[in-house]
Protein backbone atom coordinates (compact mmCIF):
# COMPACT_ATOMS: atom_id res chain seq x y z
CA UNK A 1 0.00 0.00 0.00
CA UNK A 2 1.41 3.37 -1.04
CA UNK A 3 1.43 6.33 1.30
CA UNK A 4 0.01 9.55 -0.13
CA UNK A 5 0.90 12.91 1.39
CA UNK A 6 -1.90 15.42 1.81
CA UNK A 7 -1.01 19.06 1.19
CA UNK A 8 -2.50 21.41 3.75
CA UNK A 9 -2.75 25.10 2.83
CA UNK A 10 -0.77 27.54 4.96
CA UNK A 11 -3.94 29.34 6.06
CA UNK A 12 -5.16 26.13 7.70
CA UNK A 13 -2.04 26.04 9.89
CA UNK A 14 -2.52 29.68 10.86
CA UNK A 15 -6.18 29.03 11.69
CA UNK A 16 -5.30 26.06 13.91
CA UNK A 17 -2.62 28.13 15.68
CA UNK A 18 -5.11 30.95 16.33
CA UNK A 19 -7.70 28.53 17.71
CA UNK A 20 -5.15 26.88 20.00
CA UNK A 21 -3.92 30.30 21.17
CA UNK A 22 -7.48 31.41 21.92
CA UNK A 23 -8.24 28.21 23.84
CA UNK A 24 -5.05 28.50 25.88
CA UNK A 25 -5.97 32.07 26.84
CA UNK A 26 -9.61 31.19 27.53
CA UNK A 27 -8.61 28.29 29.80
CA UNK A 28 -5.93 30.45 31.48
CA UNK A 29 -3.17 27.96 30.70
CA UNK A 30 0.47 28.99 30.31
CA UNK A 31 1.43 29.84 26.75
CA UNK A 32 2.79 26.74 24.93
CA UNK A 33 5.92 28.54 23.73
CA UNK A 34 9.03 30.00 25.30
CA UNK A 35 8.21 33.55 26.53
CA UNK A 36 11.65 34.94 25.63
CA UNK A 37 13.25 36.36 22.52
CA UNK A 38 15.64 33.40 22.44
CA UNK A 39 12.69 30.98 22.39
CA UNK A 40 10.95 32.91 19.62
CA UNK A 41 14.14 32.92 17.55
CA UNK A 42 14.49 29.18 18.12
CA UNK A 43 10.98 28.61 16.73
CA UNK A 44 11.76 30.81 13.72
CA UNK A 45 15.02 28.93 13.17
CA UNK A 46 13.29 25.56 13.23
CA UNK A 47 10.65 26.80 10.79
CA UNK A 48 13.28 28.29 8.51
CA UNK A 49 15.31 25.08 8.55
CA UNK A 50 12.24 23.03 7.72
CA UNK A 51 11.30 25.30 4.81
CA UNK A 52 14.88 25.40 3.51
CA UNK A 53 15.17 21.60 3.56
CA UNK A 54 11.75 21.29 1.91
CA UNK A 55 12.95 23.60 -0.88
CA UNK A 56 16.24 21.70 -1.19
CA UNK A 57 14.54 18.29 -1.42
CA UNK A 58 12.04 19.55 -4.03
CA UNK A 59 14.85 20.54 -6.41
| pLDDT band, very low/low/confident/very high, at 16 (cuts 50, 70, 90) | confident
* Among 59, 36, 33, CA closest to 47: 33
Residue 16: domain span: 10-58
| Total of domains in the chain | 1
Task: For residue 44, tell me if it sits in a domain.
Answer: yes
pTM: 0.51
Task: For residue 1, tell me if it sits in a domain.
Answer: no
Q: Per-residue pLDDT averaged across 40-45, rounded?
A: 84
Asked if 34 and 41 count as a contact pair (C-beta separation under 8 A), the reply is no
DSSP alpha helix (H) spans, 1-59: 10-26, 37-58
Integer Cα distance of 43 and 32 in angstroms: 12
Task: For residue 39, tell me if it sits in a domain.
Answer: yes
Task: For residue 21, tell me if it sits in a domain.
Answer: yes
Amino acid sequence: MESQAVAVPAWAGVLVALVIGALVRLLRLPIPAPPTLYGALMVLGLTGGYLLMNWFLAR
